[in-house]
Amino acid sequence: MTPSSLLLYTLLTQKPRKTRQKMAQESSINRASRRTRILNNHLIQSPSDPTSCLRSNSCLSYTPPEVTERLGFDTKEMRKILDLHNLEDRDWLYGVIKQGKVFNGKERGGRLFVLPDYNQTMEQQREMTMKRIEYLFERGVFDGWLMKNGVEAELKKLAFLDVIQNFDQSLAVMLGVHFFLWGGAIQFMGTKRHHDKWLRDTETFGLKGCFSMTELGHGSNVRGIETVTTYDLKTGEFVINTPCESAQKYWIGGAANHATHTIVFSQLNINGVNQGVHAFIAQIRDADGNICPNIRIAECGHKIGLNGVDNGRIWFDNLRIPRENLLNSVADVSPDGQYLSAIKDPDQRFAAFLAPLTSGRVTIATSAVFSSKVGLATAIRYSLSRRAFSVTPNGPEVLLLDYPSHQRRLLPLLAKSYAMTFGGNYLKMIYVNRTPGSAKTLHVVSSAFKAIFTWHNMRTLQECREACGGQGLKTENKIGHLKGEFDVQSTFEGDNNVLMQQVSKALLSEYAAAKKKNKPFKGLGLEHMNGPVPVIPSNLTSSTLRSSQFQMNAFCLRERDLLDRFAAEMSLYLSKGESKEQAFILSYQIAEDLGRAFSDRAILQIFIDAETNVSSGSLKNVLGLLRSMYALICLEEDAAFLRYGYLSTDNAAAVRKEVTKLCGELRPHALALVRSLGIPDAFLGPIAFNWIDANSWSSVKH
């Protein structure tokens, strides 16, 4: 008797003592029988199958998705809608980068790819960043970035920055620090005397600027920085000091190795009175790169990303600068030491002082969307040629993107990236057309979109990394490395959670003003608050769920109710004797929910407006699918819709089911949708194309 037969005989003849024991024994028999059957199928030749039980499979081959996938709409027209402006300028700069040896072009699978060499040391990466800046400067890329004014010049600059960050975020950050932060501070916080002296040299790299705002002890709380500047009446100079270690300037891009000048943010103390934070121009290195007297500079060290940026720390030891180096668009100090400002209220003066610095949030928001698009284009193209498992005996393996679960992972994120592209375009337009009257809108929208877009980017990159399996770990395939490069975006230029609370605080101010004056809401898209409360149908059909009117009603209901709840909670805390500041701190959960509600509603409205401007046809139909996917995935993912009762559990289930249907309907358009993103092949990862040839032995020898 074999061991298995003996076991079976023992189990069958043993007298059971308990029902539970008997059930467990029977379960054990079933498992043993099932395993035996499976093993037999593998090892014993089936009578109905005369061929050898061990077949040799044919080798896999790469089939470009273009061979099997149909393009259901005009991808060039879609790209025009997405990129919106300066398409020819973008394509020219893409070509410049592909042709330059400093951009490290490598052939993989018969294609050229450009990406930084991350095998280099931190020091080598920094030097390559500067060589790339020089290469682009020699080809006129930066002409007019500071010396030309107007909407057209600003849009061209933003388009070029979009292209550059698709190659390397370190390069984009260094240019952002030099032109947008250092140069932007002189442009918008300074006056003619500063423009005449500094702007041309900045544009031509006669100097290299950086931006010293953040300190070891203060980041988001700019008003709390500890650097102190006093005025010496005898010499007519300002004297800048770092009074303690927590006041050292920290994370200053460009400071460790290359910058010659910096904008110093400091408390200004005049005649023993602290006038608040002001900005000053200070030289930190001479033309030969030597650190100036009364300044100490140290390295910040290796980072999880952006190692092509030389972040440094700065201490000031009685550094003397001319009185004229105060950026004085808001306030000034006269030669005899009198503090002068047309804005008497310190809070209003501080707000006016920082208002011009929104460019950083604008560029961060748009770069985050481009990063997510690079990840998605690579992961989706890979999933359109990579196969795994067969669902029938001896059948072909299934394309990754033909699995509903894979569609669920990537296609909602693609729809969100489309929606945020439209949101980013809107943000750029209000930025380049900014006026004093639009300052509040620009601040609120840039804060909201910076937070939402950068969070979305990190989530998207992680999902794309996992969707590519082990190939997502390779640096040359870009996705995994982009996570490290873009992680910092969640905290620099404002911590995302703090920014969302600022958004909610601004909305509460609008709410309080409208209620106090008994006037309609106007601005920030809050006009929907003037109408009746939207009603969500008790039974949500597919056609209802895809209706833009229903989607907007659901988003407005959430924003409206959360704003009411936020105001009520604040009032409750105030009635209990809490200060306004403490009440706001205690209401942080509703504040963050409200910030997201505002952002989602604003993005949906922008998407609907973009869709409305497209003529009927296949392009409009696909945009409708994407818009519905964006709206419904937001409904599904935000617990507020269930937490506060905007959706019933049955309706939430209907939303979930509809998202799955939309995934299936978007699947045939996947290739066309990523081709429409306008990112050249050379700027994606090699696995987006012939991943077999890219990993072949010949590529190793090459």
Q: What letter does residue 291 receive in the DSSP assignment?
A: B
Burial readout 271-297 (b: 16 or more C-beta within 10 A, e: otherwise): eeeebbbbbbbbbbbeeeeeeeebbeb
For the chain, the maximum distance between any two Cα atoms, rounded to a whole number of angstroms, is 111
Please return the burial class of 565, using the count of CB atoms within 10 Å of its CB with bins 0-12, 13-18 and 19+: middle
φ, ψ of residue 679 to 5 degrees: the values are: -95, 120
| Active-site residue identified among 493, 592, 611, 636 | 493
Write out the H or E segment, with its range, that includes residue 654: helix 649-666
Q: Say what the alpha-carbon torsion angle 550, 556, 561, 566 is, to the nearest 10 degrees.
A: 150
Q: Which of 407, 520, 499, 408 is nearest to 453 (CA)?
A: 499
Give the residues across from 7 on adjacent strands. none
Phi/psi-derived region of residue 389, left when phi > 0, alpha when psi is between -120 and 50, beta in every other case: left
Residue 449 token pair: 């979109």
Whether the CB-CB separation of 138 and 100 falls below 8 Å is answered with: no
What is the distance between the alpha carbons of residues 213 and 215, in angstroms, rounded to a whole number?
Answer: 7
For residue 252, the SS3 value is strand
Provide CB contacts within 8 A for 505, sequence distance 6+.
584, 591
What is the distance between the alpha carbons of residues 419 and 651, in angstroms, rounded to a whole number?
Answer: 23
The CA–CA distances, whole Å, from 13 to 19, 90, 301 equal 15, 81, 73
Residue 214 assigned as binding residue: yes
Provide CB contacts within 8 A for 199, sequence distance 6+.
146, 147, 183, 186, 187
What is the distance between the alpha carbons of residues 582 and 4, in angstroms, rounded to a whole number?
Answer: 72
The CA–CA distances, whole Å, from 191 to 8, 329, 356, 606 equal 94, 6, 13, 36
Whether the CB-CB separation of 418 and 79 falls below 8 Å is answered with: no
Provide CB contacts within 8 A for 231, sequence distance 6+.
237, 238, 239, 268, 270, 323, 333, 337
Q: Which of 654, 194, 633, 639 is nearest to 414 (CA)?
A: 633
Provide CB contacts within 8 A for 444, sequence distance 6+.
502, 503, 506, 507, 524, 598
Phi/psi-derived region of residue 675, left when phi > 0, alpha when psi is between -120 and 50, beta in every other case: alpha
For residue 19, the SS3 value is helix
Residue 604 token pair: 């949906």
Per the document, the length of the chain is 702
| DSSP-derived pairing of the beta strands 311-316 and 105-108 | unpaired
What is the distance between the alpha carbons of residues 546 and 548, in angstroms, rounded to a whole number?
Answer: 6
Burial readout 496-509 (b: 16 or more C-beta within 10 A, e: otherwise): bbebbbbbbbbbbe
Residue 469 assigned as binding residue: no
Full DSSP string of 403-470: SHHHHHHHHHHHHHHHHHHHHHHHHHHHHHT--GGGHHHHHHHHHHHHHHHHHHHHHHHHHHHHHTGG
Provide CB contacts within 8 A for 387, sequence distance 6+.
60, 396, 397, 398, 399, 400
- Tell me if residue 493 is catalytic: yes
Q: Which of 419, 417, 398 is nearest to 463 (CA)?
A: 417
Q: Which residues are annotated as a binding site for FAD?
A: 214, 253
Q: Which residues are annotated as a binding site?
A: 214, 253
Q: Which residues are catalytic?
A: 493
